[in-house]
Chains A and B, each alone.
Chain A
Amino acid sequence: MIEVRGLSKTFAGRGGLLGHRAVPALREVDLRLASGGAVSVIGESGCGKTTLGRILCGLESYDSGSLLIEGREAKQMSLAERRERFQRIQLIHQDPYSALNPTRTVRQTMLASLRLRASATNRSKAWTERRAAELLELVGLDPSYCLPRYPHMLSGGMRQRVVIARALTVDPEALVADEAVAMIDVSLRLGILGILRRLRADLGLSLLFITHDVAAARYVGEDGQLYVLYRGQVVEQGPVDEIVQRPTHPYTQCLLSAIPVMRGLERPGPDRLVPLRPLDDNVEPPGCLLADRCPQAQDDCLLGRPPLLPAGAAGHLHACLHPEARSVVAIPEQTASSGR
């Protein structure tokens, strides 16, 4: 189990001739990723979701709060333990073109870490070859086709499968998929998402799924938790279906309202909110962080930052002074046209 409590991270910030402006990337984030569980994090660009993923992989430091892996605080681990534990959390990158070394074949890529694994566990050389083929099959690739090939000979979808197989060479307990399908051809996306779903079911891997695609988040972790991040703060969290169907925070409602509707088959939710105005990074409202963009903002929203409070249903939390349930996601058409 991976757990973060009150995690905060502020980047020193660059740019601007007049001094550096600190950029808060995460503000007191609490998150639990149970073994075999799934957590999806959604939010717009710059909301801190990538930073969260990097911290969980041990790639980024944090300013305050704690990161617990199996109950052990990361900052108190020895270097060796740190390396050992963070190796169990593998990152799946967004760009499958830059994630594979162009000068090495898939076999070389897979064997590099399998050999280390073999020598650590006293396994034979033949095992590494067998394991490489096994892992490629697990992600739906033909080993005899892929192993001798260089990454440029494979399609984007195949590359991403190789990236996943490569992550599995170190027997991870958790995968952090950071926009893992954003750059994949739409027709191949479902295949990749299916693999992530299957890995959870078959290998008991836990999955932190970072995305801005709510449908993808729902597909890989129907039973999981959804965290909505805005300007580094968790504004709403709860079981995926609960949040998707009964969102109470205006920001979540705006995100869900922005999903395209297939007219003719579905009709837009009756309470759809207008799209948000662009984020102005330079202004930080004194109270609720969303106050300057929120369509529902009222005077008292500027006074204090609302805490994350229970919202009725079990596990559903939101941080809003004026939460209101709205039906914003598309509703399937029930007319005669669908029956034809």
Chain B
Amino acid sequence: MVPASPPIAAQSTGRGAGARRRRLKGVARRLGARIVAALVMIWAVATLTFFLVHALPGNPVQVQYETLISHGVPPAQALKETRIIYGFVSHEPVVSQYGSYLWQLIHLNLGKSISYSGVSVSHLVLSAAPWTVILVLSGVLVSFLLGVLAGAVAAVRRTSKLGDLLSVSGSLLHGIPQFVMAVLLAYVFTTLLPVFPFGAPYNITVTPGWNLGYIGSLVTHAVLPVFAYALSSYGGWMLSMKSSVVSVLGDDFVLAAELRGLKPLTQLRYVARNALLPLFTVLALSIGFMFGGSIFIEDVFDYPGLGHLLLASISARDYPLMSGTFLLITVAVILSNLLADLLYTLIDPRVRGQAS
């Protein structure tokens, strides 16, 4: 019989620089493997997007070409323009179309939009992205902080009224869909009690720039969409943090810390660190999903982010824009997944050990 491989601890018995170098090498190899995997995934998604656009009924590329012809554009000119928009033309065989699409992609050229005629897709996507990032990032952070705090309190005080109340708040808010929350907040705080402005990311009367009026306007306009996002994801954080804390509290090391007379603050730190570990992965992932995760909220509050752009491109059948936006969303998810993986090895020693 082949003897079972010795435990990790036994493999890295060497001390000092040698062991450290070996460990670093392991981390580097792992990092390399992850990056290659991420690139392969991005390529797969790009390929899928290409063939999806290709398979759409009515062949948008052909339609574009014929529209140009019918507008009196000479065929050679029409072919050139279509190539600029899509990166490929349907007169060529699929393989060479696919090749030129990938070639353009490597040069970060996503083609040109149809509905915003002549504007490049990368420009449109990149100018919409910051709005989404600001909106959803603050939404994610607010809901994460509130949810984690409430979840921890609900877990520690789970036998009291306060704990019950917090748990109910989590389940309740978790059950309300994002768009209902958005409409509800908009109705209550702009119509019933007109505290916050509605629509557009800032007041059009102020000049954009680093001035107080603009920034203030940005903030007041962002409050409702951010809270719509935060409140609808708060429940998930709260409930998972609660169950995580409850399970860590049951671990004997917490009891042992108490028995040895460690300070309550130290005990709290032990519990919090261990309870947050599983939530951390979900946090990193949800930051990736945020690029596409706020379509309803952006639509309700008329926020010019990626979700808004995606909706507009779908209703205008703007295929280059659509595939560009999809691609950005997927890339963001893949990258944040990669980031989550790497960060997790930093914060959880159990995963770190597996590098070797």
Which A residues touch B253, using CB under 8 A? Answer: 98-101
Q: Are A103 and B349 in contact (CB under 8 A)?
A: yes
Query: Is A241 part of the contact surface with B, judged by Cβ < 8 Å?
Result: no
Task: Determine the distance from Cα of A116 to Cα of B350 in the docked complex, in whole angstroms.
Answer: 27
Q: Is B257 interfacial (CB-CB < 8 Å)?
A: yes
When distances are taken between beta carbons in the complex, the residues of chain B under 8 Å from A101 are 253, 257, 270, 274
Q: Contacts A113-B262, A116-B262: A99 and B349 contacting too (C-beta < 8 A)?
A: no
Contacts A99-B256, A101-B274 hold; do A153 and B261 have CB atoms under 8 A apart?
no
Residue A112 at the B interface, CB < 8 A?
Answer: yes
Contact assessment for A163 and B256 in the assembled complex, using a CB-CB cutoff below 8 Å: yes
- Main SS of chain B's interface residues? helix
Q: Does B57 touch A at the CB level, under 8 Å?
A: no
A57 neighbours in B (Cβ, 8 Å): 259
**A59, B259: Cα distance in complex, Å:** 9
Q: Does A93 reach chain B (CB closer than 8 Å)?
A: yes
Residues of B within 8 A of A149 (CB): 9
Cβ–Cβ contact A83 & B252, under 8 A: no
Q: Is the CB of A153 within 8 A of B259?
A: no
Is the CB of A190 closer than 8 A to any CB of chain B?
Answer: no
- CB-nearest residue of chain A to B12: A153
Q: Which of A83-142 touch B at CB < 8 Å? A: 83, 86-87, 90-91, 93, 95, 98-105, 112-113, 116
Chain B residues 91 to 132 lying within 8 A of chain A, measured CB to CB, are: none
CB closest residue in chain A, given B270: A101
**B161 on the A face (CB < 8 A):** no
Any B CB within 8 A of the CB of A62: no
A154 within 8 A of B: yes
Interfacial residues of chain B within 332-356, with CB under 8 A of chain A in the complex: 347-350, 353
Query: A-facing mask of B243-262, CB < 8 A → 1, else 0?
Result: 00000001111011101111
The residues of B that contact A153 with a CB separation of less than 8 Å are 7-9, 353
A98 near B251 with CB under 8 A, answer: yes
Among B257, B273, B274, B353, contact of A150 (Cβ-Cβ < 8 Å)? B353
Chain A residues 144-188 with CB under 8 Å of chain B are 144-145, 149-150, 152-155, 163, 166-167, 169-170
Assess whether B255 is in contact with A152, with CB atoms less than 8 Å apart: no
Shortest CB–CB separation between residue B16 and chain A, in angstroms? 11
**Would A112 and B259 count as touching, CB distance under 8 A?**
no
Size band of the interface chain B makes with A: 20 to 34
Q: Is B15 an interface residue when CB atoms closer than 8 A count as contact?
A: yes
- Rounded to whole angstroms, the CA-CA distance of A163 and B15 in the bound complex is 24
Closest beta carbon of chain A to B347's beta carbon, Å: 8
Q: Scan residues 30-60 of chain A and give those whose CB is less than 8 A from a CB of chain B.
A: 57, 59
Give Cα A95–Cα B252 distance, bound, in whole angstroms. 8
Given A59-B255, A93-B256, check contact A152 B350 (CB 8 Å): yes
Query: Known contacts A95-B252, A98-B253, A102-B274; is A83 also within 8 Å of B353 by CB?
Result: no
Q: Which residues of B contact A155 (CB under 8 A)?
A: 7
Task: Kindly list chain A residues whose C-beta atoms are within 8 Å of the C-beta of B256.
Answer: 91, 93, 99, 163, 166-167
Q: Which chain B residues (10-59) contact chain A, with CB distance < 8 Å?
A: 13, 15
Report A53-72 residues with CB < 8 Å from chain B CB: 57, 59
Q: CA–CA, A104 to B263, complex, Å?
A: 16
Counting chain B CB atoms within 10 Å of each CB, the highest count among A150, A154, A163 belongs to A150
Q: Cβ of A152 and Cβ of B13 under 8 Å apart? A: no
Cβ-neighbour of B252 out of A98, A103, A145 (below 8 A): A98
Contact A169 B260 (CB under 8 A): yes
Q: How far is the CA of A163 from the CA of B257 in the complex (A)?
A: 11
Most chain A CB inside 10 Å of its own CB: which residue of B7, B253, B261, B262: B253
How far, in whole Å, are A166 and B7 apart by their CA atoms in the complex?
23
In whole Å, how far is A166's beta carbon from the nearest beta carbon of chain B? Answer: 7
Q: Does B171 contact A (CB under 8 A)?
A: no
For residue B255, which residues in chain A have a CB less than 8 angstroms away from its CB?
59, 91, 93
Residues of chain B from 261 to 302 with CB closer than 8 A to chain A in the complex: 261-263, 266, 270, 273-274, 277
CB pair B261–A87 under 8 Å, yes or no, is yes
CB-CB nearest in chain A for B348: A103
Known: A99-B252, A103-B348. A112 touches B353 (CB 8 A): no
- On whether the beta carbons of A152 and B261 are closer than 8 Å, the reply is no
Q: Which of A252-297 contact B (CB under 8 A)?
A: none
Measured between beta carbons, the chain B residues less than 8 angstroms from A145 are: 13
Least distance between B19 CB and chain A CB atoms (Å): 10
> Which residues from A are CB-within-8-Å of B15?
144
A199 to B295, CA, bound (A): 66
Contacts A101-B270, A103-B349, A152-B349 known; A112 to B251 CB distance under 8 Å? no
Also in contact, A116 and B261, with CB within 8 A (given A99-B253, A153-B7, A166-B256): yes
Question: Which residues from chain B contact A83 at a C-beta distance below 8 Å?
Answer: 261
Q: Is the CB of A91 within 8 A of B349?
A: no
Q: In the docked arrangement, what's the CA distance between A91 and B260, Å? A: 10
Which residue of the partner chain A has the closest CB to B274? A103
Smallest beta-carbon distance B264→chain A, Å: 12
- Which one of B7, B13, B261 has the greatest number of beta carbons of chain A within 10 Å? B261
Q: A91-B255, A99-B252, A102-B274 are in contact. Are A150 and B260 (CB under 8 A)?
A: no
For the complex of A and B, the 10 pairs showing the least CB-CB separation, nearest first, are: A153-B9, A99-B252, A113-B260, A93-B252, A150-B349, A101-B253, A98-B251, A98-B252, A152-B350, A87-B261
Chain B residues at the A interface, C-beta cutoff of 8 Å: 7-9, 13, 15, 250-253, 255-257, 259-263, 266, 270, 273-274, 277, 347-350, 353
11 more CB-based (< 8 A) A-B contacts, given A90-B260, A101-B253: A91-B259, A95-B252, A99-B253, A101-B257, A105-B349, A112-B262, A112-B266, A116-B262, A149-B9, A153-B9, A154-B9
10 A-B residue pairs with CB within 8 Å: A86-B259, A91-B256, A102-B348, A112-B262, A112-B266, A116-B263, A145-B13, A150-B353, A153-B7, A153-B9
